[in-house]
Amino acid sequence: MNTHTNELKRKAAQIRIDLLRMIHHAKTGHTGSSLSNADILTTLYYDVMKLDVTNPKWGDRDRFIASKGHAVESLYCILADKGFFPKEELQTFSQFGSRLIGHPNNKIPGVEMNTGALGHGLSVAVGMGLAGKMDGRSYRVFTLMGDGEQAEGSIWEAAMAASHYKLDNVVGIIDRNKLQISGSTEDVMGLEPLEDKWSSFGWHVVPVNGNDVAELSAALHAAPESSGKPTLLMAYTTKGKGVSFAENVPHWHHHVPSDAELAQAIEQLSKEAQVVIHE
C-alpha cells in the first residue's frame, strides 16, 4: 500500500472520529450513513476533485451534490478540515441559529445546493453537467446517492437525460450499503439487478468497494472511461463502517453514541489507521 493511500485511510478515520464527536455533542445525526460514505467523500475531496478553498465559486471547480443529504455529517467535517469554514463551528451542529443544520445548507461555503428530499441531487447534477458542456467548461459533476433513494422516479428521469445528452462529465455514485431507515433495501423495495438497470439506461457502470480508498481513487480518476457516457460507481459499502458494533446494524442509521460507545469507537478508529487523537 503506497503512502498516498495510507494518508487517505488515515484521513477517513479522522473524519469518522470528528463526525462521531459532532453527533455525540449535538445529540442528533445520521451516524450509520455518514460512517458508510466517509471513504467516498474523503477520496473525492482529498484526491480527486478540483477545488479552491479561497474561491469556493471558482467557475472551473468540480461540483459535488450530496443527494443523500441526511448523511451530511461527514461532508461538514471534511469542509471544515479543508478550511471552507472554521472547524470550531462543528460544535454548533443542529443547534438553534446554526447554519450547520441536519442537511446540506448552501449558506456554507463549499456546499453547492440544499438537499435532503431524496431523488433530487442527480437531476441537479445533470443540469450542471449540461451547462458545463454548453459553456465549454472542463469541470466534472459528482453526486452521491443512497441505495434506498433508487426507488425515487426522478432518479430514473435524470438517468435517461444524462445518457441522452451524452454527459460524460457527470459521475453518479451509489452508496450501496443495502440498508435504509426502515430495513433492508431488498425488503422495502427490491433494487436488483441494480448494475444492469443503470447499464440499460446508457451509463458506464463501475462496481467498486466503496470503503476502499485505493479502488475509489482509481475509478474516480478514470472517469469517464467511456466517451459520451455518464459514469455510475456502484460503491458497495458497509453501513456504520469503522465501528465494529455499528456495522450493518439498522438502528445505527440515526443512533447517537453514548459516552462509552464514543470512547470505544474512537479507540477502534485510532488503532485502525494509527491516528493521533488530539483532545
Q: What are the tens digits of pLDDT across the range 247-257?
A: 988 888 889 99
H or E element: which one contains 146? Answer: strand 141-146
Distance CA 221, CA 74 (A): 21
The grid cell for 5 is 493511500
**Lowest-pLDDT range, 58-72, 181-195, 259-273?**
181-195
Q: Sheet harboring 141-146: ordered strands across?
A: 63-66, 141-146, 170-176, 231-236, 204-209
Q: How confident is the model at residue 186 (pLDDT cuts 50, 70, 90)?
A: confident
Percent of the chain with pLDDT over 90: 82
C-alpha atoms less than 13 angstroms from C-alpha of 218 in its C-beta half-sphere:
9
190 has pLDDT over 80: no
Domains present along the chain, CATH in parentheses? 3-273 (3.40.50.970)
pTM of the model: 0.94
91 has pLDDT over 60: yes
- In sequence order, the 6+-apart residues with CB closer than 8 A to the CB of 276 are 270
Task: Decide: 144 and 41 in contact? Cβ < 8 Å.
Answer: yes
- The confidence score (pLDDT) of residue 116 equals 82
Q: How confident is the model at residue 276 (pLDDT cuts 50, 70, 90)?
A: very low
What is the pLDDT averaged over residues 55-71?
95
Residue type, 45: Y
C-alpha closest to that of 174 among 214, 137, 219, 218 = 219
Rounded to 5 degrees, what are φ and ψ at 89? -65, -20
Phi-psi bin for 4: left (phi > 0), alpha (psi -120 to 50), beta?
alpha
11 has pLDDT over 60: yes
Give the tens place of pLDDT for each residue, 103-148: 999 999 999 999 988 889 999 999 999 999 999 999 999 999 999 8
- The confidence score (pLDDT) of residue 31 equals 94
What is the pLDDT averaged over residues 37-45?
98
- The confidence score (pLDDT) of residue 1 equals 56
Distance CA 43, CA 46 (A): 6
Task: Decide: 135 and 148 in contact? Cβ < 8 Å.
Answer: no
